[in-house]
Amino acid sequence: MSRLIEVKLPKCTLFLTEQELLSLLARDPELWKQAIIRARRERMWQMR
């Protein structure tokens, strides 16, 4: 069984496989870029 990734939203929780998530992100390269930038900022903030 594939590992599930939990995505919490205000009114529901989604469970996606890694492949499903990659497929969704592949449809919008700009979303990848934004997510990477956000992750870098979050890591920098946590390191403080």
d(CA 19, CA 16): 8
Going through the chain in order, the beta strands assigned E by DSSP cover 4-8, 13-17
Total number of domains constituting the chain: 1
Domain span holding position 33: 4-46
The reported pLDDT for the residue numbered 1 is: 67
Q: What is the pLDDT of residues 21-32, one digit of tens each?
A: 999 999 999 999
Q: What pTM did the predictor assign?
A: 0.66
d(CA 48, CA 34): 22
Q: What are phi and psi of 36, to 5 degrees?
A: -65, -45
The reported pLDDT for the residue numbered 34 is: 95
Who contacts 4 (Cβ-Cβ below 8 Å, separation ≥6)?
15, 16, 17
d(CA 48, CA 46): 5
